[in-house]
Amino acid sequence: MTGPETTVLVVNSGSSSLKFSLVDPAAGVALADGIIERICEETSHAKLGYRDQEIAREVRAADHDAALRLVFDLFAELGGDLDALGLVAVGHRMVHGGQRYHAPTLIDDAVVADLAELSPLAPLHNPPGVLGIEVAQRILPELPHVAVFDTAFFHDLPAAAATYAIDADVAAQWQIRRYGFHGTSHRYVSEQAADLLGRPYGELKQIVLHLGNGASASAVDRGRAVDTSMGMTPLEGLVMGTRCGDIDPGIVFYLARTAGLSMDEIDTLLNRRSGMLGLAGENDFREVHRLIDAGDAAARLAYEVYVHRLRKYIGAYLAVLGGADVIAFTAGVGENDAAVRRDALAGLEPLGVRLDEARNTSGDRGARVISAEDSAVTVLVVPTDEELAIARDTLAALG
Ligand code: ADP
C-alpha cells in the first residue's frame, strides 16, 4: 500500500479543548483525528484515532502546549510517523478574521500580532486560536502554518445584510457589523450540494442549515453568501444548544438594570445557559427527544421554539433569494435528526418544498436527496467536513 503524498494537520484550538485532524486532501479523508478536552484542569481527556486503532485516556495537559505535544506522543504510540505521511503544512481554524482577513492566510509574526489584536471582537474564540498557532509553530517550526477564517465566506455579504441599523459612526468606530460564522462549513456544504446534483455552483440558489451545537443558516445566491443568521458574534440567529439566538436586545438592559445581573453573568446566561439547555435542561437532541417521548412539557416547548425559529429563517431566506433550488441540512442535528428536518419543512408545499418521508428517515449516511421527485426545491442532507475544507484551503494558500 502506498501512503498519501501530501497531508495537512488541521488544528482547532478552543479555550479548554484542542481538536486535530491529519487530513489527506487529495483523497478527502482524515487519516487520524482526535481531541483533548479539559486542558488546564486536574485531568484532561485525550482521544486519538489512527487507522483502525484508538486511544482514549485520562491525561495531564497543563496547557495547550502540553496538549499538542501529547497528541504527537499518542500518534507515535500508535505507530504514526508524520514525515512518512507527507505532512506539508498546518491549517488553523480561526473564528474571527475581522474586516481585514478573509482569504486563507500564510501566518507570520505580523499576522499573529494582528490576530491577537482582533481578540476583543471574539474574546471567547480568538485568544485560544492564537494560542493554538503559537504552540503549533513552536512544535513544528519548519512547516508553513495557514489561518483559515470562519468568517471568510461571509466577508462579501451585501451591505444591506451585513449592516446593523445602529448609529453609523459608532458601528464604524467599533467595527460592528454582521460577520457570520461557520463559513467554512456553509461553503463546503453548498459546494458539495452542487457536486451531488451535478449542477454548476454558480447557478444554484441555496439555503444551508448548519445545525450542530452551534447553529446557523445561510442564503447562498449562485455561489455568493447573501445572508446568514449569526452576526457580530455567534450568538445571533437560530436557537442553539446553549445559546439563545435572536432575542430583543432590551432584555440585556432589563437584566442589568432590573434583575441586577453583571455583564459577565448575562454573557454566561445567553451563551451557555440558554437555547435548548435553558429551555429543556438538555442540549443534546437525542436527550430532548427522549424527554419529549416521556411526556416532558418543557422539552416539547423547547423543541417547538427551535423548529419555529428555523422555519422563520427558511421563510426569510426563500424571500431573500426569491425562491431556492436547494435546502441543505448539515452538522450533528441536521445530519441525524429526521424529525427536525420534517418539522422544519412541514406544510411548505405551497413554497415548492416537499419532503419524501421514506428518504428522510432512511438510515443512509453520506450526501443524499431527501425531497420527493416532484419537489421544486431539492432538499439534501450533506455531511459537513470542516477539517477537509480547511486542509484544502491551506494547500491552496500555499499555491
Ligand atoms: P458542534 O457544534 O459541537 O461541532 P455537532 O455538529 O457535532 O456539534 O453537533 C452536535 C449535536 O448534534 C449534539 O449536541 C446533538 O444535539 C446532535 N446530534 C448528534 N447525533 C445526533 C443524533 N443521532 N440524533 C439527533 N441529534 C444528534
Per-residue pLDDT band for 124 (boundaries 50, 70, 90) equals confident
Report in angstroms the alpha-carbon separations of 361 from 36, 336, 339, 355, 368. Answer: 33, 9, 8, 10, 12
Ligand 1 centroid to 265 CA: how many Å?
A: 26
Ligand 1 centroid to 396 CA: how many Å?
A: 30
Catalytic residues: 150
Same domain, 111 and 258: no
Q: Is residue 173 part of a domain?
A: no
**Ligand 1 and 208: CB distance under 6 A:** no
Mutational pocket test of ligand 1: of 286, 342, 365, the residue with most ligand atoms within 8 Å of the beta carbon: 286
**Ligand 1 and 242: CB distance under 6 A:** no
Residue with cell 465566506: 153
Same domain, 102 and 228: no
- The whole-number pLDDT of residue 3 equals 65
Under a CB-based contact definition with an 8 Å cutoff, are residues 193 and 382 in contact? Answer: yes
Same domain, 353 and 217: yes
Q: Which atom of ligand 1 is nearest to the CA of 215?
A: 2
Q: What share of the chain is helix, strand, coil (3-state, %, to 5)?
A: 40, 20, 40
**Ligand 1 and 275: CB distance under 6 A:** no
- C-alpha triplet 362, 367, 372: angle, nearest 5°: 55
The residue whose CA has the least distance to atom 23 of ligand 1 is 336
309-324 mean pLDDT = 98
pLDDT at residue 240 is higher than 90: yes
Give the total number of structural domains in the chain.
Answer: 2
pLDDT 10s digits, 339-372? 999 999 999 999 999 999 999 999 899 999 999 9
pLDDT at residue 43 is higher than 70: yes
End of a domain among 115, 131, 149?
Answer: 149
Same domain, 206 and 300: yes
Q: Which atom of ligand 1 is nearest to the CA of 213?
A: 2
User: Beta partners for 7?
Assistant: 87
Residue with cell 417547538: 304
End of a domain among 113, 131, 149?
Answer: 149
Per-residue pLDDT band for 118 (boundaries 50, 70, 90) equals confident
Mutational pocket test of ligand 1: of 333, 340, 362, 364, the residue with most ligand atoms within 8 Å of the beta carbon: 333
Same domain, 128 and 217: no
Q: What is the mean pLDDT of the chain?
A: 95
- The whole-number pLDDT of residue 119 equals 85
Q: Which atom of ligand 1 is nearest to the CA of 340?
A: 25
85-94 mean pLDDT = 95
pLDDT 10s digits, 265-295? 999 999 999 999 999 999 999 999 999 999 9
192-220 mean pLDDT = 98
Q: Is residue 381 part of a domain?
A: yes
212-238 mean pLDDT = 97
Q: Is residue 175 part of a domain?
A: no
Q: Is residue 49 part of a domain?
A: yes
Same domain, 262 and 117: no
C-alpha cell at 94: 480561526
Q: How many percent of the chain have pLDDT more than 90?
A: 86
205 is in an annotated binding site: no
Q: Is residue 335 part of a domain?
A: yes
Chain centroid offset of residue 158 CA? 21
pLDDT 10s digits, 45-60? 999 999 889 999 998 8
304 is in an annotated binding site: no
Other CB atoms within 10 A of residue 99 CB: 12
Same domain, 280 and 348: yes
Same domain, 144 and 203: no
**Ligand 1 and 356: CB distance under 6 A:** no
pLDDT at residue 15 is higher than 90: no
- The whole-number pLDDT of residue 390 equals 97
Per-residue pLDDT band for 114 (boundaries 50, 70, 90) equals very high
Q: How many percent of the chain have pLDDT more than 70?
A: 99
Same domain, 213 and 110: no
Same domain, 129 and 251: no
Q: Is residue 177 part of a domain?
A: no
Mutational pocket test of ligand 1: of 208, 213, 291, the residue with most ligand atoms within 8 Å of the beta carbon: 213
**Ligand 1 and 212: CB distance under 6 A:** yes
End of a domain among 117, 149, 181?
Answer: 149
Per-residue pLDDT band for 2 (boundaries 50, 70, 90) equals low
Structure pTM? 0.95
213 is in an annotated binding site: yes
Ligand 1 centroid to 173 CA: how many Å?
A: 38
Q: Which atom of ligand 1 is nearest to the CA of 214?
A: 2
**Ligand 1 and 180: CB distance under 6 A:** no
181 is in an annotated binding site: no
286 is in an annotated binding site: yes
Q: Is residue 189 part of a domain?
A: no
Domain hosting residue 100, numbered range: 4-149
- The whole-number pLDDT of residue 177 equals 96
The residue whose CA has the least distance to atom 19 of ligand 1 is 332
CATH code for the domain in which residue 210 is found: 3.30.420.40
Chain centroid offset of residue 20 CA? 15
**Ligand 1 and 234: CB distance under 6 A:** no
Same domain, 143 and 203: no
Ligand 1 centroid to 69 CA: how many Å?
A: 28
**Residue-wise over 336-362: b if at least 16 C-beta within 10 A, else e?**
bbbbbbebbbeebeebbbbbbeebbee
Same domain, 218 and 291: yes
3 is in an annotated binding site: no
Q: Is residue 208 part of a domain?
A: yes
**Ligand 1 and 290: CB distance under 6 A:** no
Residue with cell 455552483: 201
- The whole-number pLDDT of residue 16 equals 86
pLDDT at residue 1 is higher than 70: no
74-91 mean pLDDT = 91
306-316 mean pLDDT = 98
